[in-house]
A and B are shown apart, each in its own frame.
Chain A
Amino acid sequence: MRNYYVALGIQTIKEAMAYRLNFILSFLVVIIPLAGQLLLSKYIYSMGYQIGSWQLNQLLAYYLIATIASEFFSIGTWWDIGNDIKNGGLSSHLVKPYSYYWHNFSVYYTLRVVSISFALIVAYIAYVVISGSLIPHIQANSILQFLILALITAPLSFLITYSLSILAFFFTDIGFIMKLLGILLPFASGNILPLDIFPTPIRVVLVKLPSAYLVYHPSCIMSGVYNWNEFVQLVGEALLWLLLFLFIVRWLWSKGRRSYEAIG
């Protein structure tokens, strides 16, 4: 069956290539907000102000990594799954001997790997042009820590997305979740501003939410903010979120499957 998920991934790439214009325009979605963040930060620092305890170089590197991390680890409802459940498309998957979860995992991460490879190049060019520095402020240790955390955050981000999407078993329309997340997530994940600059009560909550492990913490790691002790604690917490969402997904799926009405 493993061969199937690989073959599906290859097919997903071919399908993505069939929509070339969408693909090219998606770069603009990456580059425009990033350029805005980098230019605004430079302007603020040039006026003599500072954002939290962040040095300008650190902050520019933070935004670069946050952009890339949010491309890869972003969460939200995934329309394919929601529509499958709402319109009965799930039926054709249920009668095939593969796991619907791994089927979607394969498609989800294939699309992300494809888009991130291009986003990396585009984001790096934007960074070099605006910051004037060729090498972001990143240490070798940080890259190792980032990769270790990515092994947890990659499945975590999919589990969160999957659990939100299969809420379609219980609600007629899950569009409202998408809208709410679209507003809250950029703040809660640290995509717009590093979470440590928020007032203490808000910060304490935000940095412990699962969204922080998808963008804020990976970006802080790459900016060299955490020592190894803090990093180990971070990994432990991320693992707890992973286990919790594994349980939530299993529970929602088994409850939802029983109530699935297979419309159409």
Chain B
Amino acid sequence: MEIDQAIELQSLYKNYRVKTSVSLFKPSFKDIAAIRGISFIHDTRQNLGVFGKNGAGKTTLIKMLTGILHPSSGFINVMGYTPYNLKPEFKSKIALFQGGKQNLVWDIPAIQSLELSRYIFGYSKQDFNHRLSSFAEALDLGDELNQPPRNMSLGQRSKMELIYSFIHLPKVVFLDEPTSGLDIITRSKFRDFINFCHTEYGICFVITSHNIKDITDCCKSCIVLEQGQIIYQGDKDFLLEKHQHEIITLRADSDCAAIEISNLYGGKVNGTQVTIESLGSNSNALICKIVSQYLIKDFKVAKKDDEEIIAEILNNA
């Protein structure tokens, strides 16, 4: 991996100074560690998802990767640049989109604000028109472009903000809670759009989101943050597979049989019904074993969805 394609962090720390008592003469402060010595390398040819609970350090990490925050200590390099030096060449190669934040001017037609991007990043009117029509089509936008943001719904406004944040086609786009507050249709549209931009323009997205599907649908790699530390880094599918539980629900021919099965294989009994959680994907073998020993009238196997798995990982962290 070339250095200009990598995001690299080594022993990165970030502490915030927080006021703990209010006093006119001598207020007291204490340092709170938001990021505690994290290290990883990521290839920007792939998207990266960041999972974590509230306060895990996701947004702080994004802010350090974009250069907004200075790390307290450690090494940070994004595509060959030290982000907090905020070199204009670096800033031309990245973009930040924070869900719910407003950057467009509230009272003038959105297209006029969008066009400012052309002057900031120095590309032609022809490129602007081409990209805008392509983005607008992918996000189902039409006449809304000529409306001021104050007259738009939250979904429309978020789409405009998304376009504004990376119509200059940077190499890496950091999305911090991009679908926060959006309805299910708009969320799905956002994800399709992210995948479209990744494939069509080769943009790498680094995504933090509490909507797990934003990450599972768009990213192959992920990291899981807990209290400022990385508890997993690697392939997202591997993580999900490793923590996958299958839930077997079966109906025995009698209450006695149900209790026996539950005692033998560890499950919950409700009359003749037994529910067993099976780690990984070994439920077939388990069912075969039970069926060979007992008369089973009916059974079904259900998998946990990604959201439940991630919630469990974070809860157990």
Asked whether A95 is an interface residue with its Cβ less than 8 Å from the other chain, the reply is yes
A11 to chain B, nearest CB (A): 6
Do B16 and A261 touch across chains, with their CB atoms under 8 A apart? Answer: yes
- The listed residue (A4, A11, A98) touching B112 by CB distance below 8 A is A11
B51-110 residues at the A interface, CB under 8 angstroms? 63, 66-70, 86, 88-89, 91-92, 94-96, 98, 101, 103, 105, 107-108
Which B residues form the contact surface with A (CB < 8 A)?
16, 63, 66-70, 86, 88-89, 91-92, 94-96, 98, 101, 103, 105, 107-108, 112-113, 115-116, 119-122, 148
Residues of A within 8 Å of B105, CB to CB, are: 11, 15
Which residues 1-38 of A have a CB within 8 angstroms of B?
1, 3-4, 6-8, 11, 14-15, 18-19
Residue pairs across A and B with Cβ atoms less than 8 A apart, 14 shown, are A1-B120, A7-B115, A11-B112, A18-B107, A91-B66, A91-B98, A92-B101, A94-B67, A95-B67, A95-B91, A95-B95, A97-B88, A257-B70, A264-B101
* 0/1 string, A96-108, CB within 8 A of B gives 1: 1110000000000
- Whether B116 pairs with A92 at a CB distance below 8 angstroms is no
Chain A contact residues: helix, strand, loop or mixed:
helix
A93's nearest neighbour on chain B, judged by CB, is: B103
Chain B at the A interface: SS class = mixed
Contact A14 B116 (CB under 8 A): no
Beyond A1-B122, A11-B105, 5 extra complex contacts between A and B, CB < 8 Å: A7-B116, A11-B112, A97-B91, A261-B69, A262-B69
Most buried by B among A15, A97, A98, A260: A97
Measured between C-beta atoms, what is the minimum distance from B120 to chain A in Å? Answer: 5
B116 touches A15 (CB 8 A): no
Which residues 232-264 of A have a CB within 8 angstroms of B? 257-258, 260-262, 264
Which of chain B's residues have a CB closer than 8 A to the CB of A264?
A: 98, 101
Tell me whether A3 and B63 are in contact in the complex, defined as CB-CB below 8 angstroms, given that A11-B112, A94-B68 are known contacts.
Answer: no
